[in-house]
Structure 1
Amino acid sequence: MGRSQELNEFKRGTVIGCHLCNKSICEDSLLLNIPRSTVSGIITKWKQLGTTAIQTQTHAEAQKSPTVCRVNS
């Protein structure tokens, strides 16, 4: 079974909207035609990070990144 494409921002926001309306993960999944594991993952990340953005990087992670370089002149 192959991987599907990432959900767009609107679809992820819709999952969170359903969650905030006290819909269960199963109801969200059936309503939006998205696998339950995906719905659960979106909600979990939203609770941890407070956002549904695909790529988020904390300040601490950015400082550890080898691509980030600071030059003092």
Structure 2
Amino acid sequence: MPLFTTRKQEKKAKVVFSDDLLLIEFEGGKTQVFPLDWFPALKTASDEDRTDWEQTDKGIRFNKLNVEVFTS
């Protein structure tokens, strides 16, 4: 009999802005990099707005900016 769980497991991520890039580093070493040109609201956002984010089941959501970055 296979073992499984119906609870979603929390994934931890780290969000880093470097030059004109958004880097999302996941637990386990996976990193995804996005050019900020794809997200104009993030490119011009304040540091305060950039730090107000949460991880969702689809990616990273920047709450104050109403921007979601979809990760796989």
Structure 1 and Structure 2 fold alike (TM over 0.5): no
* TM-score range normalised by the length of the shorter chain: under 0.3
TM-score (normalised: structure 2):
0.25
Structure number having the greater helix percentage: 1
Which one has the bigger strand percentage? 2
Per the normalisation by structure 1, the TM-score is 0.25
Larger Rg computed on CA atoms? 1
